[in-house]
Structures are given as C-alpha cells and as structure tokens.
C-alpha cells in the first residue's frame, strides 16, 4: 500500500473514533488491511501533524493539528451563537430560524459539529431545515443544537 493511502486511512480513523495509542492505531489499520510497523506509524504521525489532546472524558486521543481549520471552526461557532433566533420541531424535522442571510454559514457550523442523528441539512437565507434520521430522538438532536449556543 502506498504511503498516501495509508496516511489517508490514518486520518480517517482518528477523525471518526477515539484512538488513544499507536498500538490501537496499528490494530485499526490491520482491520483495514494495512500492515505497518511502529516506526512507520510514528513517522506518519509526525508527517501528518497528529498530536494527542485530552477529551472531555479525561482520556487522551490522537487528533490533527490544523490551526486554520480550528480558527474557521471557532468562527463558525461564534456565528452560530449570534445568528440563531429560534428552533422548532415538527415530527422528525427541526427548523432553525436565523438572522437574514446567515443560514448557510450557520448550517456549516452544524455540519462541522457532526451531530449524530442528522440525516440531512438544507439552508435558505434565514431558515435551516434539519431532517433527523427515522427512529432517532429528535429532542436529543435539538439539545445538541441548543448546547452550541451556550
């Protein structure tokens, strides 16, 4: 397997789940058909600018150091906080009302949050339509959205 493909898989793994150790990363790579030595994984971690951060639960996990992305995400969170006016639930849908022309950027903030249970997001100029997956608790999704304002 080429280095680029292996590194792409590593980035995907650490983005999608909590990976705490190189041994755990090695095992996950094996599950994806990738054999790599500890030295190779260590070099990949350095080249990809991966570091460990402490989660809210107190465990350390690998994450990518990306200052530009973090800056953008922080700006989107600030826009979300200042742009959202109200939420409304209708069956398995949530409608988010925003200030004029802020819905698209606000929807992007929701998208980067990767809230479990969201099937689709559609935005206009002052309204966001969120379709919640069938049989998923719409109130749980709403609470996650409300937590973004706090």
What is the structure's pLDDT at 112? 87
pTM of the predicted model as reported, rounded to 2 decimal places: 0.55
DSSP state of 112: H
Answer whether residue 106 shows pLDDT above 80: yes
Instruction: Please return the burial class of 141, using the count of CB atoms within 10 Å of its CB with bins 0-12, 13-18 and 19+.
Output: buried
In percent, the amount of the chain with pLDDT more than 70 equals 96
pLDDT digits (tens, 9 = 90+) for 66-97: 654 556 777 888 899 999 999 999 999 999 99
pLDDT digits (tens, 9 = 90+) for 19-37: 999 999 999 999 999 999 9
Which candidate, 26, 15, 7, 130, places its Cα nearest to that of 63? 15
Residue 13: Cβ within 10 Å count: 18
| 113-129 mean pLDDT | 95
Q: 62 CB contacts (<8 Å, ≥6 apart)?
A: 14, 19, 20, 25, 45, 50, 51, 52
Q: Report how far residue 31's alpha carbon sits from residue 14's, in angstroms, rounded to the nearest whole number.
A: 14
Q: Report how far residue 9's alpha carbon sits from residue 150's, in angstroms, rounded to the nearest whole number.
A: 34
pLDDT interval class at 4 (50, 70, 90): confident
């Amino acid at each position: 397997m080429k280095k680029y493909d292996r590194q792409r898989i590593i980035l995907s793994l650490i983005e999608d789940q909590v990976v705490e150790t190189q041994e755990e990363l090695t095992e996950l790579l094996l599950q994806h058909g990738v054999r790599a030595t500890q030295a190779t994984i260590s070099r990949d971690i350095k080249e990809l600018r991966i570091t460990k951060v402490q989660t809210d639960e107190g465990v350390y996990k690998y994450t990518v150091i990306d200052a530009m992305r973090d800056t953008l995400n922080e700006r989107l969170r600030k826009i979300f906080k200042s742009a959202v006016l109200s939420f409304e639930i209708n069956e398995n849908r949530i409608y988010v009302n925003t200030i004029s022309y802020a819905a698209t950027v606000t929807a992007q903030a929701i998208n980067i949050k990767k809230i479990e249970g969201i099937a689709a997001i559609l935005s206009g100029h002052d309204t966001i339509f969120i379709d919640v997956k069938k049989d998923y608790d719409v109130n749980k999704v709403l609470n996650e959205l409300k937590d973004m304002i706090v």
